[in-house]
Structure 1
Amino acid sequence: MALTLTDLTAPQGFERLVLAQDPQAGLRALICLHSTTLGPAAGGCRMWAYADDDAAIHDVTRLARGMTYKNAMADLGLGGGKAVIIGDARTDKTPAMMRAFGEAVDALGGTYWTAEDVGISPADMAHAAEATRFAVGLSGASGDPSPWTAEGVFRCLRVGARHAFGTDDLTGRRVLVQGLGHVGLSLAEKLASAGARLMVTDIHQAALDDAATRLGATVCAPDAVFDQQMDILAPCALGGVLTRDTATALTATLVCGAANNQLADDGVADILAARGITYLPDYVVNAGGIISVASEIHGKPDAWRLDRLTAIAGRVDQMLTRARDTDQLPSAVADQMVHDMLTTRRAA
């Protein structure tokens, strides 16, 4: 059986939701286009062993919407989309699967550009690129976007620290990095170099041992994160870590991390604000990866990427200043900034 694409009912406000299947290649994937108002939709491909299709749809739609906001705030001339491949990346992934995924992307005719995300590497994306020119983040081109994501988060974290503590000097600040994947580890290295008192947690012991030995980090168990005394929490694993309960227990003054969709629901932002905790919206601060990918899409040099990393740090400063002056949540200010961009473009 060849590749099939089936349009599913997209949630209200979304443009398209597609189920891509190729049983012979082992592919079952969802591709979601949230908005192409500002340009073709762009966002990574994630591979995860979801419990069922509903869980996969919930994830891909939240991620796609987040990409619209992220790409808008980073001024990339791109809309928002996302893809998820259903399966275990460690055991199920094959080159044939990735080529079939590339065929699915190609069938969308350039309305969606894909790149790597959780469970997908530049080498995997190279297999997808054999079937489509709309696969980016390739070795020899923009490459692994993780270092760029980490650099962007680090710059934004320092801006947040200046607003929260009166200085961006991180010397002695207790910072807990939750998740030591490519982005989390790179961020941890930057924090250690900046003199932070680094704490780390991850589900993989080897990553913890490395951070403890090489960076002098204190290790904490994954289920003990919200028992720790800290100044800054940097969530860099999967989303939904800030629930109403964990937000109530959190001791940090600032939250700034690379994970997508860190808030379990919108009401968590109110809880954090009521407790005097500054939360920097993830879609603003973790845009470094898509900035790197966008440079490949648009054919731009490293200087272009660096300019946009500087720009997102500037937007964080603008967002926090406006939030303070208008007594609003930073997340509400950021959402309004994106809403204004989309409305202006639609009107034009």
Structure 2
Amino acid sequence: MAITSANQLELLQTAEAVAREKMIDPDLVIQAMEDSLARAAKSRYGAEMDIRVKIDRKTGRASFTRVRTVTEDDLVENHHAQITVKQAKSYLADPQIGDEVIDEVPPVDLGRIAAQSAKQVILQKVREAERDRQFEEFKDRKGTIINGAVKREEYGNVIVDIGRGEGILRRNEKIGREAYRIGDRIRCYIKDVRREARGPQVFLSRTDPQFMAELFKMEVPEIYDGIIEIKAVARDPGSRAKIAVVSYDNSIDPVGACVGMRGSRVQAVVNELQGEKIDIIPWNEDVPTFLVNALQPAEVSKVVLDEDAERIEVVVPDDQLSLAIGRRGQNVRLASQ
């Protein structure tokens, strides 16, 4: 595989094609090619030589050069990569310690094994560049909602195709007994994006309280515009949730806006969350007042606030007790959250 002039343009075309397919910079592919050719040349000329390869970005011509560093006479250890000041005078007018002497060497005719290893180097570099691009793309989308398609299931975790990569929806991040088939469309919250040895990992969630907050943001324009703010969210995924909202415009009722006409807005969120019942409560700076709201639908007769012990005692009528506690303590637990 000596690089003939016919091969030269083919080299550039290959780099372009790979870059387009993997959506990375063609320059990265050419750099990978340069590295792999240099490695192949070293195996031919000797590993102790400092061989560098430069591919012309216009013609595709690969030039092979040997680089030697000017070193003090008594410090020369490797004659293939170092040169004394005296020897360097035949190449440079005024050689200084640390200067580089560059001379061209004949191009290498790549053997089958060298060509194979060159290909491996290119693939490795392309894979790294692809991973970097994927990480850069998803790290800024942390905390947002993404649509994807179910690709496969592994040990109860769902692998989701999210466009230019894969996300993982862990078993404990699924709502209740949700089951998915391959190809199902799925909407998830990007909980975390981490760089790991096997590439960037995008962790998805459907149980995170912020998933519900983001769904409301999509359904309620006032939240998106910042007129209404979601102050707090507590969820028992798949069963019940409470969301506290406040309006910065006196003419807009925050609860009414989130419920929507005939409950259309809240219903869209409920449907996405597999029928999770949602209590929308008005936020209040005053803790006891907010707690009275948070314990809805139960009616509270008295609230005793002990700030030192960070305790709140709530008194409810007997007939309201079970309603205040809720099924399996759900109502009071969500209110305390």
Give me the TM-score of the superposition, normalised by structure 1: 0.20
Structure with the bigger percentage of helix: 1
Greater relative contact order (Cα 8 A, min sep 6): structure 1 or 2?
Answer: 1
Greater C-alpha radius of gyration: 2
Length-normalised TM-score, structure 2: 0.21
